[in-house]
Each structure stands twice: as structure tokens, then as C-alpha cells.
Chain A
Amino acid sequence: MSIRREDVLRVAELAHLELSEHEVQLYLQQLDSILRYVEKLNELDTEAVEPMAQVLTASPAEADPLREDLPRPHTAGEHVLRNAPEARPPYFRVPKVIER
């Protein structure tokens, strides 16, 4: 096993995911097999290789991709709160925040 049960629980904690016992078992197995598969990347010598930081190398047309930073009206406004499970305009409502 390249991944242990504690790792699965720790990662679920980091990702804010509540998992059932069945899911913990399932992901332990499946993540183990996926992680063992991706270990094939270790066959390559990547010491001198730069990680890919952007997909396209800058062409002249892309040299200055930023538009002028000018304020514009935000039209979404009140629509934004309409999707909230619970809201008291102009706020989103959430359960009590307790120290973890």
C-alpha cells in the first residue's frame, strides 16, 4: 500500500469531505491503485525540465493580455443572493461558527 487509512482520513479532512466508512475503504483501495499507476512518472529524469507554467508560449498577439482596469457596473447584484440556501439580504446566512 502506498497510501494508508490515516492518509485518506487526513485528506478528507483537508478537503472538507464527510466520507462514510464504505467510502473510506473504497477510496483507500482505489487511490492506492491510482497512485501506484502514476508512479511510472518516476521512470523519467525530470531534473533539468521546467514545469509547464502556462499552456501557450506568448505570441506577439498575446504579449499584453490585460484589458484596461476600469470600474464597470456589477449587474448581477441581488441575483447573487437568490441562489443562497439561506440569506438575510444583504447577507448569506450560515450555521454558527465554532472553533474546530
Chain B
Amino acid sequence: MSAPTAWTVESVRRALTAKQISARELTDEFFRRIGERNPELNAYLALCPERAYAQADRIDRQVARGASLPLLAGVPVAIKDVISTAGIVTTCGSRILQNYIPPYDATAVTRLEQAGAILLGKTNCDEFAMGSSNENSAYGPVRNPIAPDRVPGGSSGGSAAAVAAGLAVIALGTDTGGSIRQPGALCGIPALMPTYGRVSRYGLIAFASSLDRIGPFGRTVADVAAALTVLAGEDANDSTCARTPVPDYTAELHKPVQGMRLGIPKEYFGAGMDPAVRQRVEQAIQQLAQLGCTIEHISLPHTDYAIATYYLVATAEASSNLARYDGVRFGFRAPAASLAEMYRRTRGQGFGQEVKRRIMLGTYALSAGYYEAYYLRAQKVRSLIARDFAEAFRQVDLIVTPTSPVPAFRLGERTSDPLQMYLADIYTVTGSLAGLPGISVPCGTTPEGLPVGLQILGPHFEEARVLRLAHAFERASGFSS
């Protein structure tokens, strides 16, 4: 199979402006590619051609008029299925929302479309974004386009696979403990988790509210920056969305990186790391030094406690957020003679194994007699983890680590032991707990040809700095997809 044309935000704009292709033809091309590859990859759960062509025609009329085009004019995008889309089935990868049709659009979706993006459809994910391999979807796993016998990572596996396979130019994912960055690493594309509160979550179906973020995947760092410029900023419908001013992230990309101080935390290079991953990441750090950055070895002493902290905080919040799925107002309902029985059966049959496991763990951690020992203690350790980062960022501008300790693993290889699956999030949950922005950028492949990701973490609201280093690395390394 010939490699698909690697469309980017910039090349779409040039082709539309030069009238080499119409937005309608471009949309046709993407639906044709999806028709060819999606039966194997299972990246999309639903397509919305009517909405896509209506938007394409709007863009074509703007081109015909010679109007100035909005930032993402004609850019085909995919939306993770935990983000609400008016009139388009939104399942969260769960049986319990099998027929759910949201009455409104998430703010992130509205902003993409207002910027001219063409919405192609909804992407597969782990059920309620709970998982690291996309194998927890009620609608079947997603396959990694680089190696179809392997997972794409998770939970935003469908979004990552869609962009990596050329079935969308930009895709939205969500990150609670690594669910954007890890699949970005495993599929070999840039993937950004913005600062907590940077992007509105209105219309995002909640998993863990003190951790959840929406962020973009793209084929290049520049595309991720363009998407963030559109997505970021305050929203009257989300009181947790920050008012901090939004810079033009694209304009910030080209500022120099010379003299940047980069922290390399020793705790992120311990046991359990695949040797090929280690080699690629160490090489990437040398390349960053060659770009004129100063490499400083630092310590984030509470790193080893992050997985335990994360799985208590996230499951406690999930057990509360998922209480709303009771068969009364939306989604699946199991037949039963009484209301209480209806709740139990609906939830027992509607949720998958991992979701039930996390509801059980979270309910236990919050229950009388255990709250202080588990949830409260975890929130205290979370303060310590956040403090580690705050102290580190007094010495360094950015922190550089691997994104995932391992490259893409085989389907079914890790499903039997949930704890082992949780440990795969070791390098990503820390930034989640501390509310920091972080990106994963490709930094080469293993000898088997599997992508490796480099994670760059920054202080709160310093996405511009994170993106700038990622962009400089991408250009210098030539690992852009």
C-alpha cells in the first residue's frame, strides 16, 4: 500500500487557497481512506458525513468568495468518543451509553468547527477512558497502524491511530493519567496534554474531575500548536477553565531554545524500562544538548508513589462521577422488577470489567473507615508530588523523560493483570497529578520498528515553552511522522 499523503494544517490551507483541491474533495479522500483502513484498525466508532460535507461546502464557498480562511479551514478532525457531539452517538466506549445522543456539543468541538475544521467522526477508546491499551472498549480493540498485531496505547487509542494512519489530520483525546501522551508515543505522533484548566471541559463526559484534560494529536508539533491556539481559553460554561490569556502558540514555536535548562529526573530511568526505549531517549537528550540546551540531572523524590496515589484519587473520583449511570435518564437499562434491582443490573451488565473494578476500588477508598487511610492520604502524597515539580521548576525550564517505559505491546499481552497495566503509566501519571502541561514527541524507533516517545513537561500554563522545545527537537531529529 502506498503511503497516504501526509496532510497537515498548513498543506491543507495551501492546497485550498491555490484551489488544487476543494474541501469537499479532501473530505471525500478522508472518508475513502477510512473506508479502506478502518475495518482493520477499528479507530472510528461512528462517522458523520452529513455534518462533514455541510462544513466542507461552507469552506468551499469561503474559498470561492476569496474570503480569508479561519485557522483550521478544511482540516479533517476526529473526536474521542468521551466528548459530546450534538446529534452524533457518543458511547464512551461503553455498553451503558450504547445509544446515547448528546443534546449539545462540547466547547472543544464548537471551537474546532468555528475555526473551520471538518468533523469526520468519533473515535474508539477504553471504556470511560479507563485503560492504557484501548482493549477495554465495549466495541473491540483498536490496532496500532504501525504494527497491527499491537495495541495503539490508551485510552485515546482510536484518536492516535486515526492520525497516525492518515485518517484525520488532527484528533482530540483526553488525558487523565497518560491517555493522550502514551498512545501518541506508541503510535509515533506528537500528542499534547495541556495544563489543567487550559481547555474547556464543557461536554467532556467526566472520569476523574481533578485530572481530566482535553488535548490534541497531530502529525507535527506545529499542527498541535495550531489546534491548541483554537482550543484554549476561558469558557462561561466551565468554571474550572482558566482565564489565563492564550498566546498564539504557532508564533511562539520559532523562538530559540538555546540556553534552556532541561531537567532529567533520575527516577524516570530506573528498572522496568525497555533497553531500546532507554537508548532512544538518551540519544534524544544528547540531541537536545546539541541544540544548545543545558542538561541538568535532577530528582523528583516522590515519583515512586505516583501510581498508588493516582489509582486512589482517579478511582475515587470515578466512582462518584459514574454514579449517574443508573438506567433512568439515558443509555442502557436492564429489565428489573424494582428500582433498586434495575440500578444494580443496569450497572452490572452495562459496565465492563475494568470500569467495575475501578468503581469498586474507588468506592472502597471513599467508604467509612477507609477514607483517611486511602483517599485522604493519597491527596496528601499528591501535594508532595506537586511540590517536587514546583521545586524542580525553580532550577530548570522544562523536564524531559521517556513517555512510556515500553513500546507498543501485543494485543492481549497485558490484560490478565490490571496492576501491571497500571504500572505502564509510571512516567505520565506524575504530570497528571501535578496539573502540568506535557507533550510526547516521537524520538525514533526500536530495532523492531516500534515508535518511542519523548515526554517534555513544563510549569503550569507554559505550553508555549513545551511546544517550542518539541518543535526544535522534531526539526533537528527528523522524526516528524
B196 within 8 A of A: yes
- Distance to closest chain A CB from B244 (angstroms): 5
Residue A17 is within 8 A (CB to CB) of chain B in the complex: yes
* B217 CB, min distance to chain A CBs, angstroms: 23
With a CB–CB cut-off of 8 A, which chain B residues contact A3? 364
**Contact A11-B435, Cβ < 8 Å, known A41-B305, A52-B379, A66-B239:** no
Contact mask for chain B residues 422-453; partner A; CB cutoff 8 A; 1 contact, 0 none:
10000000000111000000000000000000
Q: Cβ of B202 < 8 Å from any Cβ of A?
A: no
Asked whether, in the complex, the Cβ of A95 is within 8 Å of the Cβ of B367, the reply is: no
A19 to B364 alpha-carbon distance, docked (Å): 15
**A94 proximal to B (CB < 8 A):** yes
The answer, yes or no, to whether B347 is at the interface (CB within 8 Å) is yes
- What's the nearest-Cβ distance from chain B to residue A2, in Å? 10
Contact with A along B401-425 (1 / 0, CB 8 A): 0000000000000000011001000
Task: Tell whether, in the assembled complex, residue B344 and residue A14 are in contact, meaning their CB atoms are under 8 Å apart.
Answer: no
| Residues of B in contact, count (CB < 8 Å) | 75
Interface of B, helix, strand, loop or mixed by DSSP: helix
- Cβ of B311 and Cβ of A34 under 8 Å apart? yes
User: Which residues of A are found within 8 Å of B30, using beta-carbon distances?
Assistant: none
Q: How many residues of A contact B (CB 8 A)?
A: 59
Alpha-carbon gap, A18 to B357, bound state (A):
12
Q: Beta-carbon contacts of A15-28 to B below 8 Å, as 1s and 0s?
A: 11111100100110
**Interface residues in B288-329 (C-beta closer than 8 Å to A):** 302, 304-305, 307-309, 311-312, 319, 323, 326-329
Q: Which residue of A lies closest to B339 (CB)?
A: A97
The chain A residue with its CB closest to the CB of B435 is A55
Task: Mark B202-243 against chain A: 1 for CB-CB distance below 8 A, else 0.
Answer: 000000001000000000000000000000000010011011
Listed by A's residue number, 5 A-B pairs whose Cβ atoms lie within 8 Å are A46-B384, A55-B197, A61-B243, A62-B242, A85-B327
Extra inter-chain contacts (18) besides given A76-B104, A83-B103, CB under 8 Å: A16-B323, A17-B360, A27-B357, A31-B360, A34-B311, A34-B419, A35-B361, A35-B364, A38-B312, A40-B308, A44-B384, A61-B244, A65-B243, A75-B103, A94-B342, A95-B338, A96-B339, A100-B340
Binding site for A on B (CB under 8 A): 99-101, 103-104, 195-197, 210, 236, 239-240, 242-245, 302, 304-305, 307-309, 311-312, 319, 323, 326-333, 336-345, 347-349, 351, 353, 356-357, 359-361, 363-364, 367, 374, 376-384, 386, 418-419, 422, 433-435, 460
